[in-house]
Every structure is written in C-alpha cells, then in structure tokens.
Structure 1
Amino acid sequence: MSPRSMSKDEKRAEILDAAIRVFARTGFHATKIEDVAREARVAKGTIYLYFDRREDILDAAFVRFADGVLTQMRAIAKAREPALSRLRSIVEAMLAGAQSGPDLARLVFDFWAARRIGGSGERPGTPVDFAGIYVEYRQLIGSLLEQAKDEGAVRADVPEDTPAVIVGLVEGLLLQCLVDPGALTPSRMAEPALAVILDGLAPGAPH
C-alpha cells in the first residue's frame, strides 16, 4: 500500500513539530533552517513553502501554545460548577499545560526573548495578535471573578486589574519552572499559587 499523501496543513504541522523539538533542544537563536529541515526530513526549500522566516516558525509555535491554553480555558469557563472552582481549574490547567508539553512551553519564553516589542506591542510583519491573546486570558478570568462575586465567593471589591495579576503570577511561576526544573515543577506550584490568589480574594480578606 502506498503511503497516504499529506495535506498542506498536515505537512505544515509536521514541520512545526520538528522545529519545536529543535528549538527546545538547542534554543531558537542557535537553530538554523537547515536544522529544522534535517529534523523534519525534508529539503531546506520545503520549509520555505510553509514559513518565510525562522521567526515565523517561532510565531506559529506560540500561537499553537496559546490556542491550546485558550481552548482549555474556554471549556472550563463554560462548565457547570461554582465560579471559584472554575477559576481554580483554570490556574491548574495553565500550569499543567506546561508540564504536559514542556518543549512548547519553553518556546514561549524564546518567543518573548526574540520579539522586538514596539509601541504597538507587535514585531513588524508578525501575524500574532499578541495583545489580543492576553485580552482573552484576562476576560475569561475577569468573567469568573464577576460570577464569583455574585455567588458571594469572593470579596465585592476585587481590584479591576486582578485578572492581569493572576496571569502574571502563573506565567512568572512557569518561567521559574523552566529555568530551574530541578527545583520547581508546575504541578507543585499550583497549590501555593491558588493559596495566594484565593486567600486574597476571600470575603473578609484584608485590603
């Protein structure tokens, strides 16, 4: 039986998988297009059929990671559970995602380092809606906090920027886990993070 031919989307995904593995092993800046082609077992020219530049591959890796996190967050936000339980699950999912896909998670921080952030928050020519991704993170968390207020599960005067603080806390923990994996793991960080978040949001917590 002859091998099944791949669609363009499947081939692009295969090349992206190979690039993620190489970037995770050697780092984005040390990786050349030839290295990606060798890992994907294709000619160098084939890479350019799908990605114009090495940076475009990194952008695509970030989009895959962010889409995966957002898909989980949307599903959790729609669950029929108390809002605070859903918030807890979202924080756990964000941390667990890094542990289940460490290569992809590690690339997120290469993405941050490689970007040339300008006044608009975007690198010229990038297809990534960087700000929009974080807007949705904050909106999902903010909606759960509003629901939790209505349920009496959190204090009524939760500061408006609390969703940004929660996202920042989780991503800061992920960074520490990635640079010092021998001492810290995302799964261990979930409970301390939730204790800080939930204790501070509890009704009657000091302002």
Structure 2
Amino acid sequence: MTALPPIERRQESVPPARRRLAPEARRRQIVAAARAVMLRRGLAATSLRDIAREAEVSVGTVTYHFGGVDEILREVVTSESHGFYSRVVAEARAASDPRAGLRALMAPMFADSEPVREHWQIWADYWGAVGRRPEIAQTYAQQIRVWEDCCTELIEQGTAEGVFADVPARETAVKLAAYSDGVGMQRAQQVPGLSSEKALAWMLEFAGALLRCEI
C-alpha cells in the first residue's frame, strides 16, 4: 500500500482586527473605519454597528474606546484637519514671502483630486452635524483651526512688512476660512461651472480685496 502524503495543515492567519493592538492603534483603526463609512454612506446614516463592521471588531470594542458616534466624529475631523493641512501649512510657512505663502495655503484646498473631494465631503457632514448640535464642536474647536492659525501668521507677517493693508489678522483669517468653506462646499456639491481653477481664482480675489494687495 502506498502511504498517503501527510495532510498539510494550513496556518490560519489572524485577521488584523483580531490581533491584539495597543489602545492608540486600535483607536486609529476605528477612526479610519469610521472615515471610510462616513464617506460611503454619510454621517447621518453611519452607526456604531457600521463602524464596527468596517473595522472588523465588535460593537463592544468600539464603545470601549469611544463614547459614541459623536466622539468618533470629533476624532475623524481632528485627524482630517491635521492630516490634510500639515503639508499645506509647512509649504506655506516655507514660502519666500507672505503672498506666496497665502497662495500655497489656498491652492491645495481646491485641487481637482480625490483626497480633496473626500476632505470637503467630511467637512460638509461635520458642519451639518454642528448646525444641528453645536455642543459637539465645543471641546475641540481650537484643534481644527490649523489653516486659520497659519493664515493669521502670514497676514501678520505681510502687515509687518508693509505688503498687506493694516487689518486685524485673526479676524481676516476667519473671514478667509469662512469664504473658503463656502466655496469648498459648493465644489463638493458639484455646482455647474465652478471649476477648480475658478474656485481658486475667487479665493485669491477675495483675499486680495481684504488685504488690498494682489495675491
């Protein structure tokens, strides 16, 4: 009788979500899953169960790390703000002069790319949630002001150098942020005729009017 070959025992790989992760790594995994679900379904239709399924963990694991969808949303938005703007801000601060810095700060916000479209989709959901429940923004409002902070610095620099008109820097930065949010949301809604190039041109035109200087 011919001996049968030994049965090969396949080593089952442990799904990533089931591996033991450090608490911070698990939180990042859940936040990344929440971001993906929000982009796919929208915040209003996103539940803890959806997030758990996307992260391949139990609902109990999600609630162990987060108090609910609102807390996860705060983490998504904070992470999005710092992740999206970190390179933009670094390039703006490294620019040769304040006007070039403002252009470097504004141009990437209206680029015709998937990351930019995703960014504005997340912000649209966030502002919609804040409009319904303002309290969800109170605990971390300053953490997402990365763009405004850099804009304020550039305006202060330009004013000190005599490049820009003498305007209140923080207030002007908030005006520019508000305008960019509006234009960005219009782009996210795919308003006909509002191209990436036109959105940036409007932004630079508005900044120039506020600072009384061609940007």
TM-score category by the smaller chain? 0.7 to 0.9
Partner of 1:158: 167
Whether the aligned pair in 1 keeps the contact of 2:110 and 2:116 (CA below 8 Å) is no
1:159-194 Cα offsets, whole Å, 9 max, x none, are: 553211111111111111112266545565223311
Alignment gaps of 5+ in structure 1: none
In the alignment, residue 167 of structure 2 is paired with which amino acid? V
- Given candidates 135, 140, 144, the residue that maps to 1:129 is 140
Alignment gaps of 5+ in structure 2: 1-10
SS state of the match for residue 75, structure 1?
helix
Higher relative contact order (CA 8 A, sep 6+): 1
SS state of the match for residue 154, structure 1?
coil
Displacement after TM superposition at 1:127 (Å) = 7.6
Partner of 1:180: 190
Count of aligned positions = 196
SS state of the match for residue 180, structure 1?
coil
Change over 3 Å in CA distance of 1:13–1:98 after alignment to 2: farther
SS state of the match for residue 106, structure 2?
helix
Whether the aligned pair in 2 keeps the contact of 1:73 and 1:140 (CA below 8 Å) is no
Whether the aligned pair in 1 keeps the contact of 2:102 and 2:154 (CA below 8 Å) is yes
Separation (CA, whole Å) in 2 of partners of 1:188 and 1:181? 12
Whether the aligned pair in 1 keeps the contact of 2:172 and 2:210 (CA below 8 Å) is no
> Where does 1:43-192 land on structure 2 (aligned, <5 Å)?
43-96=58-111, 99-115=114-130, 116-117=133-134, 122-123=135-136, 128-131=139-142, 133-134=144-145, 137-155=147-165, 157-158=166-167, 160=169, 161-180=171-190, 184=194, 186=196, 188-192=198-202
In the alignment, residue 56 of structure 1 is paired with which amino acid? E
Change over 3 Å in CA distance of 1:177–1:12 after alignment to 2: same
> Where does 1:27-42 land on structure 2 (aligned, <5 Å)?
27-42=42-57
Displacement after TM superposition at 1:76 (Å) = 3.1
Q: TM-score, normalised by structure 1?
A: 0.77
Separation (CA, whole Å) in 1 of partners of 2:62 and 2:49? 9
State the structure with more CA Rg. 2
Identity over the aligned pairs, expressed in percent? 25
SS state of the match for residue 81, structure 1?
coil
Whether the aligned pair in 2 keeps the contact of 1:154 and 1:203 (CA below 8 Å) is yes
1:135-173 Cα offsets, whole Å, 9 max, x none, are: x54342222122223333223x33553211111111111
